[in-house]
Every structure is written in structure tokens, then in C-alpha cells.
Structure 1
Amino acid sequence: MIRTNIDIRRSKERFQTEIPWLESRHSFSFGHHYDPKNTHHGLLLVNNDDIVRPGTGFQTHPHQDMEIVTWVLDGELEHKDTLGNAGIIYPGLAQRMSAGRGIWHSEMNPSGDREVHFVQMWVLPDTEAIDPSYEQLDINRELDRGGLVPIASGRGHQAAIRIGQKGAVLWGGRLKPGESVRLPEAPYLHLFVPKGAVTLEGAGRLEKGDAVRLTAAGTPAVTADLASGAEILIWEMNPQSAP
């Protein structure tokens, strides 16, 4: 039986990467940042909050056997990969790359004077060594209606990109000041606040960059700050067996 737990992780507690072209905050172990007690939550292995300087970015590099979702908050991010996909990712455009047996891609800031701020998230796939694939979908209209909207889903939600993991759904919300939503019920939830601030029922106030790892915690309410509102990202995860 899964024990109920609400584990708050403050922004300042995250691993940090600071180099001339990149400011990155890592919610879990990543690269040379390693803590054996902080490698994942449920199916979620990576939650990187990245700011990339103008005209720079991640040069062509490989991935394998991972479902990768990129969510831009401000600015634009240019994607190119070895499948021939190329385009600009902007706020409200959900993007998914299934690395499968192997794919190479680059992620660059095409602007000459504006930073790009985005969150990149990795979840484990259902099946390894599949054909790599790519998908993107503009869901701004759905987000503007309020509430929670499925961004990426392994369960066939409408208005969501597809991921190869039946046990995971990524929900997003652009909450207006004072707007409240309830978290979905699942064995594992990961709530991240990339913009604004919220109050989580039973846990208190969460500022920009804060996260909460919930385990069998029911459906607590999240309420956006009365002044700033908030943007939130929620992974709902029902793994058969967490790693």
C-alpha cells in the first residue's frame, strides 16, 4: 500500500547549472548533479527549468528510450532533429519527442535579443526501442478557457499530444488571480509552479519555481495568487511499478 505523502521542494533547493549561455534548475538528479535519494518521482525523471540566452542553445545531441515533453513559458525555442522535423516552439505549443531506439536533436534560441524560458520533462516509456517520433499541438485556445488542460497524455485525451506511457498525463493551467482547481487523483502527482504563485490545500503557499511531490494525496485544491495568478504543470502518474 502506498503511504500518503506531500513533499514540498522549494526553488532554492534545486540543483543549479550556471554557465554563460544557460541558467538551469533541475528538480531531480541530472548530468553531474547527482543525489541517489533524488532521482525521480513516479515515472518522472527530469523536470528542468531552463533559461537560454539569445542566439545560443543546446547543440545537436542524442536521446534514447525516453518520452520528452517541452513547454515554453516565454520566448521561442527552435527544434531540429534527425527525423527532419524543424520548427519554432512558442508558449501554448505542446511538443513531444519519443526518443525510442535513438534520435538526435538541437534546441536553440533563434532570437538575437530575447531569452527563452522553458520547462523540459522526461518520463519513462511503456516500451523500449520503438521508432522515434515527434508531435506538436497548439492548445492556447483550451488553456484560455481556464481550469486544467491535458498537455501530453498516454491515455488518448483530446487536445493533448500523445506520449508512449499509458500511466502518465501532463496537465497544465494558466490560472487567473484567485482561480482554483483540484488536482487529479493518482498514486503519484508532481506539481510545478513555473510562473506566479499558488496555495496548495494542506501544504500552504508555493512560489515561482517551487514543486510538490504528492503520493496518494487525494485531490487537494490549488488556488492562484490574487495578485499574480499562476501557471502550473501537473504530472498525473499511475505506474504499474515506480522505478
Structure 2
Amino acid sequence: MIALRPAAERGHANHGWLDSWHSFSFAEYHDPRHVHWGPLRVINEDRVQPGRGFGTHGHRDMEIISYVISGALGHRDSMGNAASIVPGEVQRMSAGTGVTHSEYNHDSRGATHFLQIWIIPDRMGVTPGYAQRSFSDAEKRGRLCLVVSPDGADDSVTIQQDARMYAGLFDGDERATLDLHEGRLGYVHVVRGNALVNGHVLRAGDALLYRDEPRIEIEGGDDAEVLAFDLPRME
């Protein structure tokens, strides 16, 4: 089964300083058909206006990944981390037993555009943790580069779940496949541009959900940036 999740059908909230599209149920948006996909719980596409952001707030028992598309995202947390996240970088915060943090666009010149991704961990109550790593365009060009994994394979960022996230850049004849083993779920989200994914033309914000399919196939990209997830099933 491959199901299309069009960008325009996502939940939407515009608060002025924040314009946010929700791939899964979040805050005031609830769709019983789209609560989670395996442990993939949140993909919010956020645009934060200059000088604005999310004040200090708390999380627990969630793997939180930030993926910046343009601009820069300032981060500060109760673990003592203070960083700026820019395009090409992947940041992970394991909330575990509890952490507070803030996220701001400190640049006065334009909006920060980023994805915030939440993955439900496979065990609760872990010690909070933080990681951040840059992945070059060359590492992602014409292939699916492993950026998040449970074991840190290929120098990826680790999470507390048997889930993997890949990032790729595709143009023209560039193509890549990702095998999905029996019993696994797949999910593809187009960050920007457009691409042909398993025969479906996807544009920015579109997604495909996979169940009982052997592989993800990406080709025919036009300035495409794509995220692909290999996920366990959750009852």
C-alpha cells in the first residue's frame, strides 16, 4: 500500500509570527487518519518571522529533530546547549525524563524555514541528550544519505528508536532506492522542488506513506530535496 498525503491537506495554523503546516495531528489540528505513522509522530513545516520564536517550554519522552531549510534557528536548552542550526545540519534533542528549550529566529533579514520532526522513542525515561551534525550537499547529491539512526551508522545522529531518516538531493537523471524490509513502514516527505517517487509526482510538502511495500524509489528530480524514513510498526 502506498498512500499520497498532499501538502494542501495538512493542518495549517498562521499565528502571524509563525506559519505552520502539520503533517500529523498537532495542537488544535486533529485528524484521526493522521495521528502518527509508526513512531513518526510530528512533521511540522514552520516559518518563523525575524526576531520571533518559541519561548522556553518543556518536553519529555520524545526524540525531537530539527531540519533547517533556510535561515537559521537559534537553540538554547536546560542541558546547557546553545547553538545556531543552519541548512545542511541535523539537530536531535532527546527529551527523555524532561528538558526545557527555546527556539528563535535571531536574524532580522528574513524568516527561518524549518521542519520539526518528532519520533516516539522505544523506551521512556532516558537521560536527556543533544546532538548536532552537518551533512554536505555532496553527501546527499543523487543518493539517500543516512542522517538519523538508532546506532550512529555512517556517522549519523543517533535516536532512541529503531528508525532511520535519510536526506537526498535529486535533479535530472539522479535516482536512488531504499529497500524496506518485511514488516517495516516507509514515509517520504518532499522538502522542496519536485520528484517522481514510486510513480507519483510529488511537490514540496507532499508525502507518501508505505506499508507492505518492498522499496522507496526516487527519480526525476527538479531541484528536489527529499527526506525518507524507514520505520518500525507500532500497534
TM-score range for the pair, normalised by the shorter chain length: over 0.9
The offset of 1:145, in angstroms, is 4.7
In structure 2, distance between residues paired with 1:93 and 1:28: 23
CA contact (8 A) 2:142 2:175 kept: no
Note the aligned Cα RMSD (angstroms).
Answer: 1.4
Alignment of 1:232 onto 2:229? no
Aligned residue for 1:181? 176
Moved over 6 A (4+): none
Name the amino acid aligned to 2:192: K
The offset of 1:37, in angstroms, is 2.4
CA contact (8 A) 1:142 1:159 kept: no
Q: Secondary structure at the match of 1:217?
A: coil
Name the amino acid aligned to 1:106: S
Q: Structure 1's 205 and 94: CA in aligned 2 closer, same or farther, altered over 3 A?
A: same
Alignment of 1:100 onto 2:96? yes
Aligned residue for 2:212? 216
Name the amino acid aligned to 1:190: Y
Q: Where in structure 2 are there 5+ consecutive unaligned residues? A: none
The offset of 1:38, in angstroms, is 1.6
Alignment of 1:199 onto 2:199? no
Q: Number of residue pairs matched?
A: 233
CA contact (8 A) 1:47 1:119 kept: yes
5 Å-filtered alignment, 1:37-186, equals 37-140=33-136, 143-165=139-161, 167-186=162-181
CA contact (8 A) 1:143 1:174 kept: no
In structure 1, distance between residues paired with 2:179 and 2:90: 20
CA contact (8 A) 1:96 1:136 kept: yes
CA contact (8 A) 1:139 1:159 kept: no
Provide the TM-score with structure 1 as the length reference.
Answer: 0.92
CA contact (8 A) 1:67 1:97 kept: yes
Provide the TM-score with structure 2 as the length reference.
Answer: 0.95
CA contact (8 A) 1:46 1:123 kept: yes
Percent of aligned pairs sharing the same letter: 36
When you count strand as a share of all residues, which structure comes out higher?
A: 2
Aligned residue for 1:14? 10
Q: Secondary structure at the match of 1:16?
A: strand
In structure 2, distance between residues paired with 1:120 and 1:151: 15
* Cα displacement string for residues 155-192 of structure 1 (whole angstroms, at most 9, x for unaligned residues): 33122111011x20010102233311113314201100
Q: Where in structure 1 are there 5+ consecutive unaligned residues? A: none
